[in-house]
Structure 1
Amino acid sequence: MSQAGLAVGFERDHRKYAGSMSRKDTLVSRLPVLGDRAERKDVVSVVKLHGVITPQASPLAARGVINLASVESALKRAFGHERLKAVALQINSPGGAPTQSGLVAERIRQLADDKGVPVIAFAEDVAASGGYWLACAADEIYAHRTSLVGSIGVVTNSFGFARLLERFGIERRLYTSGEAKSRLDPFSPEKPEDVEWLNKLHTQLHDLFVEWVKQRRGSRLAESEELFNGDVWLGPKALELGLVDGLGNLRDIVKQRYPEAEIVVAEPKKPLLAKLGVGSPAAAVLDAVHHRSLWSRFGL
């Protein structure tokens, strides 16, 4: 074959190959890329803070518990999205341990400041006491018109069994090193100096709570003597007092604020023993009774 024939054949094969590749590229370009749309869509993460705030895990607690260890993984997931627009806190808690309330709230603020995204809290049935402490970690707070909000105060409850022991002829033997080690012992008669000490402790914790609320809510708070008296209010009154920024629910407000964003719930990782419900039955029952008493204060 001549050189001219070779050139013509090469050009014909090249055009055929190029045309084939062109059609293939066109078809490939029309195929959907799995996960591409999800990756490009904006995200609003939701963290559920449901239950009593306590340092102990309780597999038998019907509504769960809140502490830094139990919510850390969920918070990391919530703030870890690349196209994150905001984080929503879905709060349903009657309160509990002040230290865990502070630790969780501080962790939320740390992640929010690092990521540079707004945090919006939504009160469900109740965001009271430590539950409201958590809500104040958000930049904005919303409540349903039937939500119970507030209870900015400190409470301690216990029982006294001194007369019960006496009735059954049981002798209490308590040995301590340090006169303050047996304060508020439930099996000993109540001492006025112990009650005075507890009242001072309550005052200090209350002051810290008030300081946190004022720091987070600022000028939005109303000038009212009842604001920090430990009372709890429905959503409309909480709005009037400046404890919340508006009334509404999570999905409506997020959809209005971020209409193109996808709502993604960040679930915490559960320890194996918690999944199996393994633990001390007696301790779990006592925890359940205690948790029930906290919820019952708000009729729930």
Structure 2
Amino acid sequence: MLNNENQKAIDALKDVAMAGIKEQRSSRRWSIFFKFATLILLFLLIMAVVGSAMSKSTRMSAAPSYTAVVDVQGVILQGAEASADNIIPALQDAFADKKVKGIILRCNSPGGSPVQSSYVYNEIKRLRGIYKDKKVIAVAADLCASGGYFIISAADEIYANPSSLVGSIGVRMQSFGVVEAMKKIGVENRELTAGENKAILDPFSPRKPEDEAFVKDLLATTHKHFIDAVKAGRGDRLKNDPDIFSGLFWTGEDAKALGLIDDFGSPASVARDVIGAETMVNFSPEKDIFERLSKRIGASVTKLLLESNNSPAPVLYK
């Protein structure tokens, strides 16, 4: 016979065991639920990506003509989304497509490599010379500056929003110096070179006027290439204002007054009212499916978090 204390201990152990079993069952149920929910989400996202591709194909086959869109998105660099290797083939495909009535060059870029920008600029000029029946209309989005403006100045016309930022026709090279900091902490520069100018603009050595003069000449030459390209592209539409080539940038409203853009408009309004083919087809290279899925998942998770917290969407106005 068990005494009362032993019976209570046994009952307590049973309660603990049952609670553990219930917790394990609950944990398994939640694990199954999250796995199932993840599979459903992935399935829906894959269907969305496939549907997007099918939608593009449907628009291309159904419309008698359409407007091609080629994006200049982000920093213009070799290997980046806005590289000559990505933009030029998209332009070539758009021009060669017989159903394309005109091309919109949609720019949202702070600039980047002068070489990559020049490659794209020259190719636009070449293609315009071959396909004389198709216009290239550039549309500046939030920002079209520096190398981005270099590229779109090759277009037949440029449109923007009154609040777009446009311009920054200049060249820069950024460096730094830590000589005084090295003196304070007792660090000595022991750099060795073969070639008296190999360590030009070395941040660990004092500034040399002759080094800075040499680099300024390089920048001035590159700046001249930029200025010449803009003048060739815009012609007498540019106002005679030296500030245009000073590196300053302007709102779309001021840019229009300076002749940097022709008028106001969005990609949709330009396709409809200027080119005359309202249906738009994006010829830019499509991202890898996993990258597209990850972006969609990130956007979905952000939306869920915002809705669950009853928080407003972030405002981006920089």
TM more than 0.5: yes
Asked which structure has the greater RCO (Cα within 8 Å, sep 6+), the reply is 1
Partners of 1:95 and 1:132 lie apart in 2 by 8
Q: Which moved more, 1:239-248 or 1:221-230?
A: 221-230
Distance 1:271 1:218, change over 3 A: same
Q: 1:143 to 1:107 in 2, by over 3 A?
A: same
Counting only pairs closer than 5 Å after superposition, residues 203-218 of structure 1 correspond to structure 2 as 203-218=220-235
Select which of 67, 77, 80 maps to 2:93: 77
Mean alpha-carbon deviation: is it higher for 266-275 or for 187-196? 266-275
The answer on 1:131 being equivalent to 2:160 is no
**1:126 shift after superposition:** 1.1
What residue is the counterpart of 1:90 in the other structure?
Answer: 106
Correspondence for 1:201: 218
Alpha-carbon distance between aligned partners in 2 of 1:265 and 1:126, rounded to the nearest angstrom? 20
Match of 1:265 in 2: 282
Counterpart in the other structure of 2:51: none
Whether 1:42 aligns to 2:65 is: yes
8 Å contact from structure 2 (residues 71, 106) kept in 1:
yes
Residue type of the alignment partner of 1:123? A
Residues 195 and 223 (structure 1), Cα distance of their counterparts in 2 relative to 1, 3 Å cut: same
Unaligned runs of 5+ residues in structure 2 are: 1-56, 295-316
1:133-192 Cα distance to aligned partner (Å, 9 max, x none): 011021100110001111111112122233344444444332222212111122222211
1:271 Cα deviation from its structure 2 partner: 7.0
- Cα displacement (A) at 1:113: 2.5
The question of whether the paired residues in 1 share the 8 Å contact of 2:107 and 2:140 is answered with yes
Q: 1:70 to 1:276 in 2, by over 3 A?
A: farther
Distance 1:160 1:274, change over 3 A: farther
| CA distance 1:264–1:96, shift in 2 (3 Å) | same
Of the structure 1 ranges 105-114 and 125-134, higher mean CA displacement relative to structure 2 is found in 105-114
- Please say if residues 122 and 141 of structure 1, whose CA atoms lie closer than 8 Å, have aligned partners that are also in contact: yes
Instruction: Judge conservation of contact 1:41–1:262 (CA < 8 Å) in 2.
Output: no
CA distance in 1, matches of 2:61, 2:286: 23
Q: CA deviation at 1:78?
A: 2.4
Pairing of 1:144-155 with structure 2 (within 5 A): 144-155=161-172
Shift of residue 38 of structure 1? Answer: 2.6
CA shift, 1:252, in A, is 1.1
Q: State which drifts further: 232-241 or 103-112.
A: 103-112
Task: Give the CA deviation at 1:55.
Answer: 2.4
Say yes or no: does 1:178 pair with 2:195: yes
Separation of aligned partners in 2, 1:250 and 1:159: 41
For the residue of structure 2 that corresponds to 1:73, the secondary structure is: helix
Instruction: Deviation per CA, 1:7-33: give whole Å up to 9, x if none.
Output: xxxxxxxxxxxxxxxxxxxxxxxxxxx
Q: Deviations over 1:23-78 (max 9, x none)?
A: xxxxxxxxxxx979836611210011011112244xxxxxxx42212323322332
* Equivalent position of 1:230 in the other structure: 247
For 1:104-123, list aligned pairs within 5 A. Answer: 104-116=120-132, 117-123=134-140
CA distance in 1, matches of 2:60, 2:171: 48
SS for the counterpart of 2:195 is coil
CA RMSD of aligned residues (A): 2.7
Question: Displacement of 1:129 after TM fit?
Answer: 1.0
Change (3 A) 1:226 1:162: same
Q: What secondary structure, in the 3-state scheme, does the structure 1 residue paired with 2:244 have?
A: coil
Q: Secondary structure at the match of 1:74?
A: helix
Structure 2 residue identity aligned to 1:83: K
Tell whether the 8 Å contact from 2:60 to 2:66 is kept in structure 1 after alignment.
Answer: no
Overall identity of the aligned pairs, in %: 38
SS at match of 2:270: helix
- CA drift of 1:114 comes to 2.5
* Paired position in structure 1 for 2:34: none
* C-alpha separation in 2, matches of 1:36 and 1:246: 28
CA distance in 2, matches of 1:127, 1:237: 14
- Residue 256 of structure 1 aligns with which residue? 273
Question: Which moves more between the two structures, 221-230 or 125-134?
Answer: 221-230
Secondary structure of 1:205's partner? Answer: helix
Q: Which amino acid aligns with 2:85?
A: A
In 2, distance between residues paired with 1:108 and 1:182? 38
Aligned to 2:108, the other structure's residue is in SS state: strand
How many aligned positions are there?
Answer: 239
- Aligned-residue offset at 1:257: 2.5
